[in-house]
Structure 1
Amino acid sequence: MPTGPRIAIDAMGGDSGPAAMLAGAARALRKDKTLHFLVFGDEAAVRAELANHKTLTPNVTIVHSPESISSEEKPSQAIRRARTTSMGMAIGAVKDGHADAAVSAGNTGALMAMSKLALRTMPGIDRPALAALLPTMGEHDCVMLDLGANTECDAQNLVQFAVMGSAYARTVLSISKPRVKLLNIGTEELKGTDELKEAAALLRDANYLPLKFDGFTEGDQLSRGNIDVVVTDGFSGNIALKTAEGTARFVTDLLRRAFKSSLRSKAGFALSKPALNLLKVHLDPNNHNGAVFLGLNGLIVKSHGGANPKGVANAIFVASSMVRNDITRRIGEDLDNFRAHAFAAAEQAAQ
């Protein structure tokens, strides 16, 4: 029997359903033989795809779910059908202790709503946040949160995001003391909203936490490689993420058009193809796939709906890494530490 993390898979989510999810699981298993998968979905469809991955069969338990969540379904509607859908049943497996983490490529809003309702937030966390890895020019990716779970945030929310994002960076990126910055419209201390200024003040005084607060950053610095964790509200974070993704596609489309413009350009393409392949790998979203709902009493990973098997495998690796490193415990310890120091400082100020 496999002895590693037990990952619940929502096989019916995403653009390709069981085909991509099972191929991704098979790819992940080739690198980590200890994984075990609880696959939730239409049993006939799942078994048909599993037949294409014979080596995966011993490490899979299929659980039939009669329904699935569509990409257009409202979260309020999805919640009412949670117990009979592949997404809801995968989340339920985490809640009941049958799985250590769940991975879904389905409807983000529904996944967030059902996860929050089923798992609840950790003590000391007001709101969960959606975190993901962004490619940079540095040695490693950058953690960014929140990416859409909370459109409005106060200073305490932002501080909690910083603590959670730092724990995530320590776990997934193996950075002992991540550099944390708040996304703002300028780097000067006087810039930004009152919430940002208050959050910055709280983080500056939190030098006892395993993070290094470096102040504010602007959007044009996100990919430079000088930040490990970027903290913002979900409204700004989602816009920044989509803008970055759109810019990457714009650049690659321009290069493709330029190299097709003449015979000389086509010859140039042949000479520069190795460098362009490196660029393609760096910008490929499948190499950075796997957003995480941080702050819940359970681990839920959101795979991109259009992820290919490599992308799904990366999302599974994110989930297994968090399980092995017990990220929920790390976040809890950091929050307890922060609250204890904040309480002591308040008592001292009152004297």
Structure 2
Amino acid sequence: MTSIKTAAQPGKPRLTTSAMIASIAAEGQRTKAAPFGHALVELARSRADVIGMTADLGKYTDLHIFAKEFPERYYQMGMAEQLLFGAASGLAAEGFTPFATTYAVFASRRAYDFIHQTIAEEDRNVKIVCALPGLTSGYGPSHQATEDLALLRAMPNMTVIDPCDAHEIAQVVPAIAAYKGPVYMRLLRGQVPVVLDEYGYRFDVGKAKMIRDGKDVLIISSGLMTMRALEAAQVLAGDRVDAAVLHVPTIKPLDNETILSEAAKPGRLVVVAENHTIVGGLGEAIAGLLMRSGVHPAFRQIALPDEFLDAGALPTLHDRYGISTTEVARQIKQWL
């Protein structure tokens, strides 16, 4: 694991090791604790078929909240991710709706074949909910699931969702429970920022939503990068750049109609921003859609590089790899 220095820069505090696992929330930003765990508890009160499962990571996927409320519906499978997903498939076949949690690296890499064969091919109603997506851990490639969207969106029958904040996570949980079929959901856990409530946002499976409009640049984003895009839009406004932000929480299936309609509007640079490698994620999915549909705007991507990333403090890494608010705004100004 390659490490990087976290020495203080002029005007900035020295970052400690705890910053490797710190919340992605900025100082003073509104947050909500464990939105997934609380939403699952609320759902389970009205649905006896909902169960929670994990592979030794209940505390670190916020599923411990569900375990405390519904211990008889909580399954701790130990450090055995293949067993977790095989058992979840079997329970789904018996009419249950399992929410199976682990880290995104373990689902997308260690247990890929079990998800592919026992859940996706059988079209089982399993909800796979995975923490530490993309660059949300400072512990290096062993913990950074920078390729998960590329892997899971390539899997037939799999719906792929990347929520932005606590407000959206609370809406995604009941929505995917009502949606029949396998779902892979990226999870922000712990103290999760609250952003989208200010915009009257409502999540719908398969739908992209315009969060703010603008005439100079269209930022198409998912997950925490929608939060970064909204913050960058405010920075750009100070330079008289009018930025629109189109939030695409459902990576598969894409909302082709909305994306094409917005990307086709003349005079705007189109920038796709994602917390994922530049290979095979939202950016390439949208680029392919635009090319196949004959829509050809000026197009750029903000994404993680195609390489194994360093370990270190998250704020440092987000700056280094171009997904911090400052770096998003800087890149867009440079392209304009």
Q: TM-score, normalised by structure 2?
A: 0.31
Task: Identify, as 1 or 2, the structure richer in helix.
Answer: 1
Q: Which has the higher contact order (CA 8 A, sep 6+)?
A: 1
Task: Identify, as 1 or 2, the structure richer in strand.
Answer: 2
